[in-house]
Structure 1
Amino acid sequence: MAPWLQLLSLLGLLPGAVAAPAQPQAASFQAWGPPSPELLAPTRFALDMFNRGRAAGTRAVLGLVRGRGRRAGQGSLYSLEATLEEPPCNDPTVCRLPASKKTLLCSFEVLDELGKHVLLRKDCGPVDTKVPGLGEPKAAGEPKSAFTQGSAMISSLSQPHPDSRNETFSSVLSLLNEDPLPQDLPVKMASIFKNFVITYNRTYESKEEARWRLSVFVNNMVRAQKIQALDRGTAQYGVTKFSDLTEEEFRTIYLNPLLREEPGNKMKQAKSVGDLAPPEWDWRSKGAVTKVKDQGMCGSCWAFSVTGNVEGQWFLNQGTLLSLSEQELLDCDKMDKACMGGLPSNAYSAIKNLGGLETEDDYSYRGHMQACNFSAEKAKVYINDSVELSQNEQKLAAWLAKKGPISVAINAFGMQFYRHGISRPLRPLCSPWLIDHAVLLVGYGNRSDIPFWAIKNSWGTDWGEKGYYYLHRGSGACGVNTMASSAVVD
């Protein structure tokens, strides 16, 4: 038995090592060949995701496929292995030397829920032109280095910045991507991983998945320590309920790339309140904020950010705090894309056009898109308009103190491993141009003379500080000031 599996077996993390509730048997892998009818749609989707952004003539072509599908929640989860042929590179403007075509072996996991596909995992590595036996292919490449944040972040690391304080960003980049891991780290992390599995009630269906998740966990813990070393606030990073997810899985399931990709509806600029911001403010203590909610495995942060804002606006203008329905927006806001992401500006328009929002009790959250079941008779809250707020953080604080909680969008860099404290990542690592998560500003203040924004998140109370995130205030940290907005209730 391989050392990894011996370690897992000793820790009781492998199936059968400890008593566990009976799990439904997953379908066996289909043999290598062209995709079967069942695997055709998820395979095409996985190939499209692999080729996303590639110019014509450089896209990979599907070879052989094997895989299986199984029920997962409201849909099906497909585990696929495929050979892909990348075309030769003969363009002197792209490649330095002519290159022959390359064969890749890829592992994909695709979730199909209500006809919507989501890529949960993509792991590819080069193989020989012939895959040995086609029954037991070589393992796909090692887990990808996390926290790359895309080419824009990488290129920005090489540029000096006023916030650098003499940091050498080229060394920062190499630190974040440093591989391989020290050989003794898996052993040291194993007991931590066992506690993680117990704490968050994780179950893995096979030895392969358990081994994969442990390797992801170890890589994530090392990167959390590196983020810790580079943070200039008081935040602590470490084990969270997302620690066994790759960066790609976390981003695909929980974040919202549409925030930086689409303009959304144009909103008019809010009038300045004209007052100086009080030294501190917290709407939670004043009854304007509902309990922390959990968006689940759905990229619906945009809906939670907007309903939180509307809840506060209704309380301040009508005197009643109601927990409002995010599910109504997932189902009925046709400008946005439900669990695939959305924009607050579109959501305000949808609420206005629909005729209001129902309460959580009347239209409860399901975490996936379903048929619109909105009833105008059940709507308890309406809005008159929506406004865009200033990017000046002093003005934002003044507006918040007088007008209520604010919908904002941020770059979620590091939040996968955030535990508590005031986060202040290096600006190039948390670019304001790469926002991907919508949240709610509910207050602000200072801890040990460090100014912060108090941010209500939508990942449940078992994340962060009982569901809240604290981010440095006054430095434009992670783009917190770039997409601030609010509903208007008259």
Structure 2
Amino acid sequence: MAPWLPLLSLLGLLRGAVSAPPRRAADAQAWEPVTPELLRPARFALETYNRGRAAGARAVLGAVSGRVRRAGRGSLYSLKATLEEEPPCSDPMTCQLPVSKKTLLCTFEVLDELGEHTLLRGDCGPEDAKVADDRNETFSSFFPLLNKDPLPQNFSTEMVSLFKHFIATYNRTYETEEEAQRRMSIFMNNMVRAQEIQALDRGTAQYGVTKFSDLTEEEFRTLYLNPLLKEGLGQTMRPAKPVDDPAPPEWDWRKKGAVTNVKNQGMCGSCWAFSVTGNVEGQWFLRQGDLLSLSEQELVDCDTLDKACMGGLPSNAYSAIKTLGGLETEDDYSYRGHLQTCSFTADKVKVYINDSVELSKDEQKLAAWLAKKGPISIAINAFGMQFYRRGISRPLRLLCSPWFIDHAVLLVGYGNRSDVPFWAIKNSWGTDWGEEGYYYLHRGSRACGVNVMASSAVVD
């Protein structure tokens, strides 16, 4: 019996001791059989896996399936493959015991940018593994940029204790034993993933347990991120006039009363609405002197250019606000976190906008504009944010490509911590995430595409 199963039973999460196989992903039908296009990244992943291994201990590629997501000049390949490892001794005349090949089941993520491949993630385990145990290969994960030590013997025990604390902290309950078991397995794999991200971060960020730690990457993306942003096919906006004044050394609109409290989008991909209302709240405050918490639900329900909880674009949202005639307040049109029938009432409009503008992609010019004009709506690649806890995040560019922006947020300030420059970013995942709801991203390196989709409403 795996050592963590009795401990899990003591937590009241399980009564049995047999691990159920992981549930098939909802989009499993999207996985395609091998094609020449999929073989290229699969062979690259295999080469990376074999790197440093003796000639007689290298694996060969077996079956391959996968899918591809494209954005800009890049493609992200998600692959499933079997690898066959040659036995350490293949000559029956000299081997003392008969041995056979070892088959591994692997998943890979390979990024192709202009023909250059990078292995973002690779996870391999025995093909016939049915029950999670304390052997390293069950939770094995090789990461080409990280030469980490084998997992400690007490890894599973420590993870059970951490999972127990997670459940208590975030008040988690699971409907069935199977679901509790599955979530714990996801949690364990996520903690390994968080350690990998931590080791590769070049900033001061800390990654670990968050309220999203029992979600798969696919679930997290589906529930909280915005796939439409990377397409960038929204309404055309005119360029903003540049600000002539140089950017001050630091700036924070929170200290000047232009930013409302952190909100929570819930399990709805409506970040685009929160990003835009945050910007409009700041613009209205700077022109009218009145800070109002505006309605995201109005945009979710009434913006016909966007797709409610399925994602949207700030440029479309500005256009919708103009078409509707303005925004109601949160009090008058409260947030529900799912699509409803539009119940917009023109008589309750408290805020209007006159136009919207696209801002410079130069970070120094963005800082100057922000300090003079107010908080800015931006979109970023959310790599690592599922496990972000605090500090200034600076992922490797290849891991946080600007071609894969998938989350809209609000730029409210900038500064330095111990000589590390940062952007202060208001998120929409509640105050129980990050630094009281805020995310800090490295400034000056175009980290995670922070500069690629900056915009603002115009209030005359």
Scaled by the length of structure 1, what TM-score is found?
0.71
Q: How many residues were matched structurally?
A: 379
Equivalent in 28, 32, 37 of residue 50 of structure 1: 28
The one-letter code of the counterpart of 1:249 is E
**Could you tell me whether the CA contact under 8 Å between 1:156 and 1:428 is conserved in 2?**
no
Distance 2:456 2:15 in 1: 49
- Residue 344 of structure 1 is matched in structure 2 by 314
CA deviation digits over 1:186-243, x for unaligned, max 9?
2121101100000000011222111111111111111111111111111011110001
| SS of residue paired to 2:404 | coil
5+ residue gaps in structure 2? 17-23, 41-62, 66-77, 83-103, 121-140
From the superposition, tell whether residues 271 and 359 of structure 1 become closer, same or farther in structure 2 (CA, over 3 Å).
same
Which segment is superposed worse, 5-14 or 269-278?
Answer: 5-14
Return closer, same or farther for 1:180/1:345 CA change in 2, 3 Å cut-off.
farther
Partner of 2:337: 367
Report the Cα distance in structure 1 between the residues aligned to 2:261 and 2:437, rounded to whole angstroms.
9
Distance 1:253 1:260 in 2: 17
Q: Is 1:285 aligned to residue 246 of structure 2?
A: no
Deviation of 1:158 (Å): 6.9
Instruction: Work out the CA distance in 1 between the residues paired with 2:150 and 2:448.
Output: 29
Which residue matches 1:489? Answer: 459
What code does the residue aligned with 2:28 have? F
The corresponding residue for 1:216 is: 186
In structure 2, relative to structure 1, the CA distance for the partners of 1:93 and 1:259 (3 Å cut) is closer
Q: Aligned partners of 2:3 and 2:115: how far apart in 1?
A: 35
CA apart distance, 1:469: 0.3
Q: Write the letter of the residue equivalent to 2:301.
A: D
Q: Distance in 1 between matches of 2:433 and 2:370?
A: 24
Counterpart position of 1:308: 278
| Alpha-carbon spacing, 1:197–1:399, altered in 2? closer, same or farther (3 Å) | same
Cα distance in 1 for residues equivalent to 2:36 and 2:251: 59
For 2:375, the equivalent position in structure 1 comes to 405
Counterpart for residue 14 of structure 1: 14
2:162 matched residue in structure 1: 192
Q: 1:125 to 1:395 in 2, by over 3 A?
A: closer
Distance 1:93-1:280 versus aligned 2 partners, 3 A rule: closer
The answer to whether the 8 Å contact 1:270/1:388 transfers is: yes
Query: What do the CA deviations read for 1:24-79 (whole angstroms, capped 9, x no partner)?
Result: xxxxxxxxxxxxxxxxxxx9x94xx434485xxx6xxxxxxxxxxxxxxxxxxxxx
For residue 132 of structure 1, what is the aligned residue in structure 2?
none
Q: Secondary structure at the match of 1:390?
A: coil
Q: Which of the residues 211, 214, 224 maps onto 1:241?
A: 211
How far apart are the structure 2 equivalents of 1:267 and 1:52?
35
Aligned to 1:227: 197
Q: How far, CA to CA, are the matches of 1:183 and 1:173 in structure 2?
A: 20
Unpaired runs of 5+ in structure 1? 17-42, 59-88, 97-101, 105-121, 127-140, 160-170
* Alignment match, 2:394: 424
Return the letter of the residue paired with 2:339: M
CA distance in 1, matches of 2:8, 2:339: 38
Aligned to 2:118: 157
Letter in 2 for 1:309: N
Q: Is the 8 A contact 1:181 1:219 kept in 2?
A: no
1-structure distance, mates of 2:416, 2:38: 51
Question: C-alpha displacement at 1:5, in angstroms?
Answer: 2.8
Percent same amino acid among aligned pairs? 74
Of residues 291-300 and 3-12 in structure 1, the stretch that sits farther from structure 2 once superposed is: 3-12
SS of the aligned residue for 2:422 comes to strand
CA offsets, 1:334-375, max 9 Å, x none?
110000000000000000000000000000000000000001
TM-score normalised by structure 2 residue count = 0.75
Q: Per-residue deviation at 1:184?
A: 3.7
* Superposed displacement of residue 408, structure 1: 0.2
Q: CA deviation at 1:181?
A: 6.1
The secondary structure found in structure 1 opposite 2:188 is helix
- How far residue 142 of structure 1 moved from its aligned partner, in angstroms, is 8.5
* Contact 2:367 2:414 survives alignment (8 Å): yes
**CA-based RMSD:** 3.3
